[in-house]
Each structure stands twice: as C-alpha cells, then as structure tokens.
Chains A and B, each alone.
Chain A
Amino acid sequence: EAQVTQNPRYLITVTGKKLTVTCSQNMNHEYMSWYRQDPGLGLRQIYYSMNVEVTDKGDVPEGYKVSRKEKRNFPLILESPSPNQTSLYFCASSPTPLGAKNIQYFGAGTRLSVL
C-alpha cells in the first residue's frame, strides 16, 4: 500500500531534549516536505527536499533541522525543543518537485507537546 508513515504519532517531551520525528514514503517520490499546523495559522512549511541531499528552508525553519540521505526518508530534528514548537506536524511527499506535478500525499501527523 502506497503511504507516508510518520513516527511517533504522539510525543510529549521537555524543553531542550533533542528529538527526531521520522518520515518514510514507499512511493519513490522525489519531493518531501514537513509542515506544522497551528490553530488559525493553517499549514506552514518548515523544510522541503527536492531529492537526496537537496533540502531547502520553508517559511518557518527556525529551530528545526532535516536530512535526506535516502530517497524514502526525511526525518525532522528538533535539537533543543521549546514550548512554541508544540504543534501538529505533517510530513508529505510528491512524485516530483511541485512545479511539475504537484499532488502531495500527507502522513497521518505527529502531535508534539513540549513542556
């Protein structure tokens, strides 16, 4: 089954404790992206990747890191989480970069609380 898998689905942590949210897709998609969703603000792009070893900042990259060492995986790293990073996070993938064919498939989401 074609899917985008995020783990964990729920996470409660404390300020400053490094964490990683994993994202994996089995559709051989080139484009992957991370979004955060906050009430009243919609979905805001954190980072995106157009292919292996190619990543770029979205609108709200501060406090986050990503890597794309393999095509299928795109982990989101919070080196020193802070309470303002409490949010619902979605990973998404697309067959090609958005300019060409833009259907994005979203993961189920990760609800993160930073105390």
Chain B
Amino acid sequence: GENVEQHPSTLSVQEGDSAVIKCTYSDSASNYFPWYKQELGKRPQLIIDIRSNVGEKKDQRIAVTLNKTAKHFSLHITETQPEDSAVYFCAANSYNTDKLIFGTGTRLQVFP
C-alpha cells in the first residue's frame, strides 16, 4: 500500500542553525504534500504545504522542496529558535483514494 518514510526520527540543533527533515513517498499519483507541527500535548497544525506542480515553496524561515522524479520532499527550517522545538510530520495524499498518509514524525530539539 501507500507509504511515507520520514528521516531522521530525532534531530538536535543549536539555535540559529538550520534543520532539514526528509520524506519519501511511494504513490506516484500523490499530488499534495503538507507538513504539520505538533507541540507537546497539542494538536497537529499545518505549517506549510506544496502541490506537485511546484518545486519549492517558502514562508519566512521555513521552506519545502519537492522532487517528483525521486518521490522526495523535504522541510527546511533556517535560523532555528527554541520555539521551533516540536514533532514535525510530513504527509502525502493518495490521489485516487483521498487518504492522507503520514510519516512517523521527527522530534526536533533546538538548544539555546
């Protein structure tokens, strides 16, 4: 079935450094790739998304890139701050079935 792999599972960075989280999807018909941030004890919240007709999208300190050929997409956070500490989930929709398949999450810790 459809699958989304996410790496790394944990990531520790110094404040001000960049963080990169990578995902790979299996369904070549997927056309929508959201990223969610989940703070401890809170609900997931959408932080950025990208559609398959776009290669890159930026929103202030966060950016997402998509390589459709390789079926990879990545989240880039620059100038990290302690408030970026959270669990981040990538996801890919299954176009034919309308399901949303999530990765297993990356716990990002930003140390001051």
By size class, the interface of chain A is 20 to 34
Of A13-21, A40-48, A63-71, A78-86, the segment with at least 4 beta carbons within 8 Å of chain B is A40-48
The answer to whether B43 and A108 touch across the interface, beta carbons within 8 angstroms, is yes
A95 contacts B by Cβ under 8 Å: no
Classify chain B: how many residues form its interface, as a range: 20 to 34
Hey, which chain B residues are within 8 Å of A35, CB to CB? 102
**CA–CA, A43 to B34, complex, Å?**
13
- Max chain A CB contacts within 10 Å: which of B44, B101, B103, B104? B44
Question: CB-CB contacts of B22-41 with A at 8 A, as 1s and 0s?
Answer: 00000000011010000000
Chain B residues with CB below 8 A from A41, complex form: 104
When distances are taken between beta carbons in the complex, the residues of chain A under 8 Å from B93 are 98-99, 102
What 9 additional pairs, Cβ within 8 angstroms, besides A40-B104, A48-B98?
A31-B98, A43-B44, A43-B102, A45-B101, A59-B1, A59-B99, A90-B43, A99-B98, A102-B100
